[in-house]
Structure 1
Amino acid sequence: MSDKAPIAGQSSSLKIYFRLLNYVKPYIGIFLLSIIGFIIFASTQPMLAGILKYFVDGLGNPEAVLFPNVPYLRDLQLLQAVPLLIVLIAAWQGLGSFLSNYFLAKVSLGLVHDLRVELFNKLLVLPNRYFDTHNSGHLISRITFNVTMVTGAATDAIKVVIREGLTVVFLFIYLLWMNWKLTLVMLAILPLIAVMVSRTSKKFRKQSKKIQVAMGDVTHVASETIQGYRVVRSFGGEGYEQERFAGASRSNTRKQLTMNKTGSIYTPMLQLVIYSAMAALMFLVLLLRGEATPGDLVAYITAASLLPKPIRQLSEVSSTIQKGVAGAESIFEQLDEVPEVDTGSFERDSVSGHLEVQNLSFTYPGTERQVLNDISFSAAPGQMVALVGRSGSGKSTLANLLPRFYQHEVGHILLDGVDINEYRLRNLRRHIAQVTQSVTLFNDTVANNIAYGDLAGAPRADIEAAAADAYAKEFVDQLPEGFDTQVGENGVLLSGGQRQRLAIARALLKNAPLLILDEATSALDTESERYIQAALDHVMKGRTTIVIAHRLTTIERADLILVMDQGRIVERGTHRELLAQNGYYSRLHAMGLDEPAPVGAV
């Protein structure tokens, strides 16, 4: 079992790495140009060693002719040839360096872009449950930190492997040509280097995965604190957040230091092995010099001394690859997540909004407690259905099932007589407008926040009419630039009531036949709520409206009130009928509608 685990790990690493290399395919032409550059660069290394042979030989006889049998060059003496060749080799090396570095950078940056876009696009189609179980800091860290590590493995590592690998190959060919016996002695050290590289690679990958998790924690804490800075300041949480962030950062620093320690021990050990081999080689050169000229020996020693650097870099590339493989593992994990279930094929340009819920039960995936239990009701176009009950009674869950944010398996929800599972997701959601207690606004203008997504490009007159219907136009007109005023991140420059009215204006502009108001008036003051109530009376004509509210004034005029408790409908009827029953609703009404759940209640 223990013998198979490392093999499985290596196989998994190779699989991930080859999958990563698939992202290089669109840039194959540019990539080949960079490889040509690497070949040119690597070919100059033995050339530089060879020049030294002629330089040393030229010290004794500078007038000697370098190319006696070549026309036009037979008069070229070592005195002129050696400096000229050095300049030509440097120019040739410069060309190779430009081609390899520039075109590989294009591949690398293209790869970063492609991976980031694919990761971000995947986030847009993942089910709600994925966001419930993954914190935003780690998701952002994948798109920023992990992607750069991955591209290091896909491009920087390839750069080292090709450039230094070709350098080693060209130098070995040159050394074999100069003295094949001595060169074979050098090869004896390669197995020892291979063992060292293999053992260190495993350590690097483990440590790299830990670093990624720690980096996600740093991003997560920072993100939470920035988003909740008002709560932090109001409740004196600065000290707690400082310690929490410092702890996450310390953990990340410790893991980074452990990885650097591994590299810091490994590199000198490898150098010691390589230079010990060089020492043995110099001893043999002096011992077995034979009839070689001083120039031959200097050229051979120079070429051999050029080998440790590329060999060391080739061995160190393993850590870059392992970091990238660890990053790629988490990226592919997200990319392989199953997107939102969308098996529907039915589409309608418009629906009347007739809603029917039949024997609906629901349990969140991975949990055992049933949140909804045998819910049944129907709502005709133009009717308003109110859901009331204590917090945790299942009202919001029911509202989230209508646009299929979660997938139900027991019971049916019908829109115009068609099960919502049969609709295409995009088509279904086009018929539903939703306003929740937690309003999301984007760092954009008021107009662009109202006309968002599918509504973008709506005529300004329609945007202003929707704002007027939501009683938002009055305060928008007073803003510095009216509808073109930037609202700040998540509408930070507006009050809670103003944000809520913009969200309602967005829903009104959508003009969907099914309107869901999930505690949509909870952030409003009494005056604003009165405005909204008037607006709702206007927009509910011909629309099916599902209202979840804590305030009585919002639901008194509902055509049907469903009283919910622990996932069940315990009472149903109009406001007057329910009060007359003197039951559950009557008790809620006496306590201001939202009765707190008793201590110990699930």
Structure 2
Amino acid sequence: MDKETGKAFDFGLFKRLLEHANPYRFTFYGVALAAILISAFAVLTPILVGDIVDVAIKAKDADKLLFYTMAMLGVLLGEVISQLAFNYYANWLGESVIKDIRIALFQKMIGFKMKYFDNSSIGVLVTRAVADMQRIGEIFSQGFFVIVSDLLKMLVVAIVMLVMSWKLALLVFSLLPIILYATRVFQKAMKIAFIEVRAQVSSLNSFVQERLTGMKIVQLFNREAIEKEKFREINEKHQNAWLKTVWYNSIFFPIAEIVSAITIGLIVWYGGLQNVANISSDEYGTVFSFIMLSGMLFRPLRQIADKFNTLQMGMVAANRVFKILDTDSHISNEGTFEKEDVKGDIKFSDVHFGYVENEEVLHGISFDVKAGETMAIVGATGAGKSTIINLLNRFYEINSGTILVDGVDIKDYKLSSLRSKIAVVLQDVFLFADTIANNISLKDESITLEDIENAAKQIGVHEFIASLPGGYGYNVKERGTMLSSGQRQLISFLRAYVSNPSVLILDEATSSIDTYSEQLIQKATDKITEGRTSIIIAHRLATIKKADKILVMDSGNIVEMGTHKELLKKGGYYWNLYEAQFLTEEVA
């Protein structure tokens, strides 16, 4: 919102927000009506006070005093009921609107390309989906409607003042320009301050989220003192941003209080002087009414300035959220092709791809895998092995070339249909803070607990799961920290297996895995690859030797292709790789 820093209010952005309130327009109108009633009841109170002084007390009429007192009681009761309805439904409307926007935001984010997440801070995205959303809700609950209600109240008060005594009214109005100017300056200053506040909040959230997630690295490399100092600096910037808003408040509100006090003094002095000198037709009750009315005229101005801060913070937050909603970073899903019985024929033809523009990772690779075959991919780190997995799932769009599944370009497939036929077991296994059963089924209602148990028995992991407290109901906590790396890997194998994919992709790293887990993983690998097309980024010789085809990659190119025996006979790149990485394993 940098380009809008100098603007007091963005009507275009606010109009867009109001569009999200359309489904709740009757509540919107009800809140507006409550605001009108609050203004009407509020103004009636000082009028009745004036009448009590001039009509009842001055005339010493007890009946009229009782009548006006009961009338005031009725007005106060009406004001309380209107205020209650206003507060509740304004907040209800705000929460309903942000509920809808939050759902739209989350739906948008889960459809983004992987490239978007590669270049975005998770902490910032969390801030947008949580903290910024609450700020947007406050636009309705504490900002817009309160401002409208106060402005309406001020208008009604001004009219009543002019009707009661235009001379006293002009006296009061003469001081309004001072507070109006102060309010305007205050609003502009706070606008800039709140943009800085939101930026610092995002930085703070991002820093804390990343350090907590990577706490093991922080402690392993003795980074506690360094990270503490970094946090102190970021926290200090956050504090200074907030203190700037406190400073502006500290200047504005005393000015508003002084102007209000001067106004009351002038009313008492001028009204009293006119009555003492008998040169005014204004009654004492009018002076009493004006003292109350002046407070009702100036108090909303102070509140409006404060609520305008809330409104501006909400608008800054809304702008940030809408920027994400307007981001065009999704994989095109214009394909309409769906196929239930995908065989699993895969063909890459002259595929070029780069994560960064003008920096290719794959340089025109071509290969094919027949249905039911197992292809192993080997090569040094950075050769492009994992990139092939990403492209087959359409996590990224290729620069040129074609990728076919069963003879159909993957771009022609409906995205959900394509991905439902491909299961992936990644090297870095991610588990949600949930039960083992839910991590396996991902809460797919078509996958029952019985299906999960049967699948676990088939790939040999049922005993391991059953031995855990609660079995399949065991909560693995955030990122599966309650399980070892080998156990997490087994869960991911089972998750892939129960989805019954046509194409299976494995990144089957076994580093830091105990011998028992590795044996289970080998058994699971043999079972889940049986009879289906499998692409394996191979880290173990046993898997490579069993593969129908081995793809040897180096720096984004396919340098060799063939079976294990064929490639060894060539004595080329694969032989060198085999000698360096796998020969000791075979000897062992």
Tell me if TM exceeds 0.5. yes
Q: Deviations over 1:497-517 (max 9, x none)?
A: 010011011111111111111
Question: What is residue 84 of structure 2 aligned with on the other side?
Answer: 98
Is the alpha carbon distance of 1:294 and 1:460 closer, same or farther for their aligned partners in structure 2, counting shifts above 3 Å? closer
Contact in 2 for aligned 1:358/1:412 (Cα 8 Å):
yes
Q: Which residue of 1 aligns with 2:456?
A: 467
**Correspondence 1:167 to 2:153:** yes
1:206 pairs with 2:192: yes
Check whether the contact 1:394–1:564 (CA below 8 A) recurs between aligned residues. Answer: yes
**2 CA distance for matches of 1:189 and 1:591?**
87
Residue 61 (1) aligns with residue 52 (2): no
* Alignment-derived partner of residue 337 in structure 2: 346
Does the alignment pair 1:555 with 2:552? Answer: no
Q: Kindly provide the CA deviation profile for residues 179-207 of structure 1, in whole angstroms up to 9, marking residues without a partner as x.
A: 22442454454455444333333322222
2:26 to 21, 26, 29: 29
Aligned to 2:123: 137
Q: SS at the partner of 2:340?
A: coil
The match for 1:67 is: none
TM-score by length of 2: 0.92
Alpha-carbon spacing, 1:209–1:552, altered in 2? closer, same or farther (3 Å): farther
Gaps of 5+ in 2: none
Give matches, 1:89-488, under 5 Å.
Answer: 89-286=75-272, 290-338=280-328, 339-365=330-356, 367-453=357-443, 455-488=444-477
Separation (CA, whole Å) in 1 of partners of 2:521 and 2:86: 64
Between the aligned partners of 1:316 and 1:60, the Cα distance in structure 2 is: 40
Shift of 1:594: 12
- Per the alignment, residue 49 of structure 1 pairs with 46
- Which of residues 540, 553, 567 is equivalent to 2:529? 540
Give the Cα–Cα distance (whole angstroms) in 2 for the partners of residues 357 and 302 of structure 1: 81
Residue 515 of structure 1: aligned partner: 504
The one-letter amino acid of 1:28's match is R
Deviation string, structure 1 residues 83-129 (Cα, Å, up to 9, x no partner): 22222222111111111112112112212322222222222111111
Q: Contact 2:362–2:556 at 8 Å: present in 1 too? A: yes
Q: Is the 8 A contact 1:154 1:324 kept in 2?
A: no
1:479 Cα deviation from its structure 2 partner: 0.9
User: Kindly tell me: are residues 286 and 340 of structure 1, through their superposed partners in 2, closer, same or farther at Cα, counting changes over 3 Å?
Assistant: farther
Q: Distance in 2 between matches of 1:202 and 1:385?
A: 63
Which residue of 475, 479, 484 corresponds with 1:490? Answer: 479
Say which of 565, 569, 572 aligns to 2:558: 569
Higher mean Cα deviation, 197-206 or 566-575?
197-206
- Between the aligned partners of 1:457 and 1:354, the Cα distance in structure 2 is 26
Structure 2 Cα separation of the partners of residues 295 and 422 of structure 1: 81
In structure 2, how many angstroms separate the alpha carbons of the residues matched to 1:292 and 1:438? 83
> By how many angstroms is 1:392 displaced?
0.8
Shift of 1:341: 1.8
CA RMSD between the two structures: 2.4
Aligned counterparts of 2:80 and 2:8: Cα–Cα separation in 1: 38
Q: In the TM superposition, what is the alpha-carbon distance from 1:36 to its structure 2 partner?
A: 2.3
Distance 1:390 1:159 in 2: 62
CA-to-partner distance for each residue in 1:40-62, whole Å, 9 max, x for gaps? Answer: 22212222212222332333322
1: CA distance between counterparts of 2:22 and 2:176?
A: 32
Q: Deviations over 1:502-543 (max 9, x none)?
A: 101111111111111123544533443333333333332331
Q: Which amino acid aligns with 2:80?
A: G
> What is the one-letter code of the residue matched to 2:39?
A
Residues 258, 110 of structure 1: CA spacing in aligned structure 2 closer, same or farther, 3 A cutoff?
A: same
8 Å Cα contact 1:437-1:523 kept in structure 2:
no
Does 189-198 or 307-316 show the bigger shift? 189-198
Quote the Cα distance in structure 1 between the aligned partners of 2:221 and 2:50.
Answer: 77
Gaps of 5+ in 1: 65-76, 596-602
Matched position secondary structure for 2:581:
coil
Deviates more, 1:6-15 or 1:40-49: 6-15
Cα distance 1:37–1:533, how it changes in 2: closer, same or farther (>3 A)?
Answer: same
Q: What is the aligned partner in structure 1 of residue 36 from structure 2?
A: 39
Q: Which residue of 2 aligns with 1:524?
A: 513
Equivalent residues of 2:8, 2:187 under 8 A apart: no
Indicate if the aligned counterparts of 2:268 and 2:287 stay in contact, CA closer than 8 A: no
CA distance in 2, matches of 1:374, 1:594: 31
CA apart distance, 1:35: 2.3
Question: How many residues are paired up?
Answer: 577
CA contact (8 A) 2:8 2:191 kept: no
Counterpart CA distance in 1 for 2:553 and 2:254 is: 70
Distance 2:524 2:81 in 1: 71
By how many angstroms is 1:275 displaced? 4.4
- In structure 2, what is the Cα distance between the partners aligned to 1:321 and 1:106? 17
CA positional deviation for 1:25: 1.9
Partner SS, residue 224 of structure 1: helix
Question: What CA distance in whole angstroms lies between the structure 1 residues aligned with 2:198 and 2:5?
Answer: 22
Say which SS state the counterpart of residue 361 (structure 2) adopts: strand
8 Å CA contact 1:36, 1:99 repeated in 2 = no
Distance, in Å, in 1 between the alignment partners of 2:99 and 2:583 is 49
Between 1:197-206 and 1:101-110, the stretch displaced more is 197-206
Instruction: Report how far residue 398 of structure 1 moved.
Output: 1.2
Identity %: 32
**Letter aligned with residue 127 of structure 1:** K
Q: How many Å apart are 1:281 and its aligned residue?
A: 4.9
